[in-house]
Amino acid sequence: MSRFRVPFVPASEITPEEIYRERRRWLQQAAALGALTAAGPAAIAASGVDESRPDLPGTANARHSVLDKPTSWRDITGYNNFYEFGTDKGDPRRHAGRMVTEPWTVEVAGEVLKPRTFDIDALRKLAPLEERVYRLRCVEAWSMVIPWIGYSLSELLRQVEPTGNAKYVTFETALQPDNMPGVSRGILDWPYVEALRMDEAMHPLTMLVFGLYGKVLPNQNGAPMRLAVPWKYGFKSGKSIVRIRCVEEKPLSSWMIAAPTEYGFYANVNPEVPHPRWSQASERRIGTHILAPREKTRMFNGYGEQVASMYSGMDLRRDF
C-alpha cells in the first residue's frame, strides 16, 4: 500500500498570516467594489443618482474602499452639514445652488518651493481619478458610506514640494456672502478653516474629492473640490476649498476657535471620548429605519489598521 508523503515546505516560503489576511481582505474589497461598478445603471437607479449631472467616472480602488453598502444619492446629497448655507440638514440642498463654482481656482502656497494656483480643470486632471467607498462619521453621531471620486491629496502636495519647515497643512473654504445665507448668522469666524498634520495630509487615504457616484460633486457636498479624511469626524473634511497652505506652526481651525472645549485639533473618531453634549460610543447610519439599532462606533472609524501608527504614544483622550 502506497503512502502519501507530505512535501516539506521551507518556512521562508510560507506566507505570513498578516500578509495572507491583508490579501484576503483586498480580494474581498475588490469583488465587492467590482460588483458595485458592474451593476451600472441598475445600481445608479436604485441609489437615486441625479442623471442630469455631468459624469465624472473613476477607476475602482478596492484597496482604499470599505465593504459597507453605500448610502443612497438622495441621502448623501440631502442630509448635510454645510453651515455657510444654514444649520438645518436640508439647508445646503435648498440654498447651495446659488454658489458660483465656475470659474474656480485653488491657491497652494506657504512653506513650499513651488507655489501655484490651479484651476479646477487642471486639478481634476492632475492624477488619475479613482472611486473609493469611504465611511463618513459625523461628530453628531450619524454616519454615511460614500463612493467618492478623486485621488490622494499627496498627489497635489508633491507638485508644490513642501519644505522641511512645513509641519501642517491648512484648508480654507470659499466665502461668498451674497450666495451663502448662513455666513450672516455669525456661527463661525468665516471663512471656514481646517488643518491636518503633514503626515496626515500625505497619508494615501486623505483624498481630494471632485465627485460622487460617478458624477460631478454637487454644490451641497462641497463642489467643486473638497477633502475626505475618513478616520476623522466629518468637520475635518473641508468643502469648496479655495486655498491650501503648508505652515510651520500648529494652526487653529474654525471649530477650535468657536468651541475649544468641544473640538480639538485631531478629531479622530474615538468612541471613548464623548462630546460634551452627547456620547460617541454609537452612531446612526443615515438611510436606515429610525428604529433600527444603532451601530457601535469603531476607533478611527474602522481605519485603525491603516492610520493608528501615526498616533503611537499619544494620549488620544487628551489630544482629541
Instruction: State mean pLDDT over 170-186.
Output: 96
Q: Is residue 103 one of the residues assigned to a domain?
A: yes
Q: Is residue 3 one of the residues assigned to a domain?
A: no
Grid cell, residue 310, equals: 501615526
Q: Is residue 37 one of the residues assigned to a domain?
A: yes
Judged against a pLDDT cut of 90, whether residue 30 lies above it is answered with: no
Overall domain count for the chain: 1
Predicted pLDDT of residue 129: 98
Residue pair 85/183 in contact by the 8 Å Cβ criterion? no
Helix then strand then coil, % of the chain, to nearest 5? 30, 25, 45
Q: Is residue 14 one of the residues assigned to a domain?
A: no
Residue whose C-alpha cell reads 521551507 in the numeric block: 10
Q: What is the pTM of this model?
A: 0.86
Residues 143-156 have pLDDT tens digits of 999 999 999 999 99
Q: Domain containing 186: what range?
A: 21-311
> For residue 47, what pLDDT band results from cuts at 50, 70 and 90?
low
The end-to-end CA distance of the chain, in Å, is: 69
Residues 107-124 have pLDDT tens digits of 999 999 999 999 999 999
- Give the domain CATH number at 97: 3.90.420.10
Q: Is residue 200 one of the residues assigned to a domain?
A: yes
Q: Is residue 5 one of the residues assigned to a domain?
A: no
The dihedral formed by the CA atoms of 238, 240, 246 and 247, expressed in degrees to the nearest 10? -60
Q: Is residue 13 one of the residues assigned to a domain?
A: no
Helix (H) or strand (E) holding 137: strand 130-137
Q: Is residue 93 one of the residues assigned to a domain?
A: yes
Kindly report the number of other CB atoms within 10 A of residue 303's CB atom. Answer: 22
pLDDT, mean over the chain: 89
Residues 219-243 have pLDDT tens digits of 999 999 999 999 999 999 999 999 9
Q: CA–CA separation, 125 vs 147, rounded Å?
A: 19
